[in-house]
Amino acid sequence: MKYFYFLLVILFLVSCNKKSETNKTKNGNTPKDGETILIKKPIDPNFEINLKKKFRINYSELGCNLPFDINQDVNGNIYLVDIQKARILAYNKEGKYLKAIGRRGKGPGEFTSLNSVAISKDTLFATNQGSHKISLFDCRDTSYTFIKELPANSLQFLKAYGKNFLAYKQSSDSKTQKAIFSVTMFDRKFKEIKDLSSKSVKFSEFANPNLDFVMFIPIFTANQDYAFITETSRDKYLISAYDTAGKLIYKIKRPFMKIPINKKELAEFNEFVKNNDKSGSIPELKAENKLAILSLHLDAKNRLWVQKSVNREREGFKNNSFYFDIYEKGKLLNTVHFLNITGRDLWDLQQRIFIKDETLFYLNGAEGFVDVYEIEN
């Protein structure tokens, strides 16, 4: 991947809120503002999620190596972000290819470094990271007419958030010699409103060969009603929930025991990084434990899907299924998994899921396809 190193180096974030956790409520009660919900067990052990496979998108047929982001508009049209060729592949709701939006370049509607897409109302917003701009396209029909560009910071992981947007932002402070990484709320003109989470690291730390770079990868999600941000951690399970004004509503905390990384998984991950880091500058991952939380997603019912690590050596987890804690209004409904949705308990670009409303997308980069599922319940 041509841009793999570039993305890994600058994809940093803190996902923690430093407010007090002294006020705690038990799982099952309605949380009060700012309270921490201590989750001990599911409230419905019989709860399940049913998925119905709709179709498969073989994106590799179009010369796309690996989509970095996937989204869907209100008409059901699907968008795959091809960062290598700086274009957005558009498909209709049946999975039929429509057209490529944009191309590499510096002109109107072109990209120097495409990263992610967000859909708000009838407009597609694409982060043109290299030129510090957001490109807007009309998605009311499949001509995808270029509208305009808006100046913006070098933003990544853009998500529609209420009437505004949420994105990862990187900045620096020359006086303190620190890099600052934040998940930031922006208005529709991409003027900063507020940081929901922020962290700083001294520049000198990036020269540390033992730097655990995965810890700087952002883990957050947002939709028209909420945003959720997790503390990227190998020993803590903690998620902060925000309303669309950026106000902390509550936190979710679960007891968590460190999970050793399977040596085979770690070796495969480091081999993947080595093969795709053309500069040879990314240090080998030497972490001993897995991340507690791998990704966050929101479905059409505002249920929070928390993809978590599990101990694959334990009985009952000896498979490659992704495991998800499913929450509704801060209450843990149950933990679910799907035998045909698999991957590693490491940050893996090749095997991921994306959720948009009632649709789940399973990306299998090793085989070059995206399976599209309907979330039936």
Strands 35-38 and 24-26: parallel
CATH of the domain at 175: 2.120.10.30
pLDDT on residue 29: 57
Given CA atoms 281, 284, 285, 287 in this order, what sign does their dihedral have?
negative
**Which one-letter amino acid corresponds to residue 105?**
G
CB atoms closer than 10 angstroms to residue 183 = 26
pLDDT on residue 355: 97
57 within 8 A of 370, measured Cβ to Cβ: yes
Total structural domains in the chain? 1
The whole-angstrom separation of Cα 370 and Cα 353 is 9
Name the 3-class secondary structure at 266: helix
366 within 8 A of 74, measured Cβ to Cβ: no
205 within 8 A of 211, measured Cβ to Cβ: yes
330 within 8 A of 31, measured Cβ to Cβ: yes
358 within 8 A of 374, measured Cβ to Cβ: yes
**Which one-letter amino acid corresponds to residue 38?**
L
pLDDT on residue 187: 97
Residue 80 burial (C-beta neighbours within 10 Å; 0-12, 13-18, 19+): buried
Q: How does pLDDT run across 137-159, given as a tens digit for each residue?
A: 999 999 999 999 999 988 999 99
pLDDT on residue 160: 98
The whole-angstrom separation of Cα 283 and Cα 206 is 10
The whole-angstrom separation of Cα 360 and Cα 299 is 9
Counting as low any pLDDT under 50, the low residues of the chain are 1-25, 28
Name the 3-class secondary structure at 92: coil
pLDDT on residue 19: 35
The whole-angstrom separation of Cα 207 and Cα 189 is 36
Residue 232 burial (C-beta neighbours within 10 Å; 0-12, 13-18, 19+): buried
pLDDT on residue 200: 84
Query: Could you give the angle at the alpha carbon of 14 between the alpha carbons of 12 and 18, nearest 5°?
Result: 165
Give the single-character DSSP code of 175.
T
pLDDT on residue 258: 93
Question: 358, 300, 360, 357: which is closest to 324 by C-alpha?
Answer: 360
Q: How does pLDDT run across 48-76, given as a tens digit for each residue?
A: 999 999 999 999 999 999 999 999 999 99
Q: Mention every residue, 6+ apart, whose C-beta is less than 8 A from residue 158.
A: 115, 116, 117, 118, 125, 127, 134, 165, 166, 167
Two tokens at 154? 């070098």
pLDDT on residue 212: 81
Q: How does pLDDT run across 313-332, given as a tens digit for each residue?
A: 886 776 789 999 999 999 99
162 within 8 A of 225, measured Cβ to Cβ: yes
pLDDT on residue 201: 86
248 within 8 A of 19, measured Cβ to Cβ: yes
Residue 185's φ and ψ, nearest 5 degrees, are -95, 130
Exposed e or buried b for every residue in 258-267, given b needs 16+ CB within 10 A? ebebbeebbe
What domain range includes position 100? 4-375
pLDDT on residue 71: 98
pLDDT on residue 154: 84
pLDDT on residue 15: 28
Give the single-character DSSP code of 289.
B
